[in-house]
Amino acid sequence: MSSNKKVPLHFGPIPADALNSALDIDIAQGDVVMSFNAQTHARNRHPTDYARCLPHVATVINAPLYARDDFKNKGKIELVGRPGGMPEYLLVAVALTLDSQGHYNVTSFYPISEKKVQARRERGHLVRVMLI
């Protein structure tokens, strides 16, 4: 058996009720995964940040501080958190269309500065997520 099997990463359930309330959307409960292809894309797009951010992705998905509708990419949202062990915030982009297994998919993740978070909050683009 090959140890190089191309498997998705599983991050656990999306906090659907909290996100529905914060963003005025209507998504169903579901788990969040990241396909092998999306992992490769993120690693290539953000090579210096991938390894240090990956261990914190599930934390941001399961308990985001902020969320926003990703206006540039219809059907996606951005979840933002400040995980312990990271000096900056972490943004996780999630597609809101369930895949054939009933999962939501992470499309990317990368660090985001305090300055950008504050600017997006001031413009009303990032809203506080109150976990229910």
pLDDT tens for the 132 residues of the chain, in order:
444 568 899 999 999 999 999 999 999 999 999 999 999 999 999 899 999 999 999 999 999 999 998 777 788 999 999 999 899 999 999 999 999 999 999 999 999 999 999 999 999 999 999 986
Euclidean distance between CA atoms 101 and 98, whole angstroms: 8
The reply to whether the predicted model has a pTM over 0.95 is no
Tokens of 101: 């297994």
> Strands (DSSP E) along 14-103, which ranges?
31-34, 66-69, 76-81, 89-95
Q: Domain locations in the chain?
A: 9-22+29-128
The conformation of residue 104, written as its DSSP 8-state character, comes to E
**What backbone torsions phi and psi does residue 62 show, to the nearest 5 degrees?**
-75, -25
Euclidean distance between CA atoms 49 and 121, whole angstroms: 24
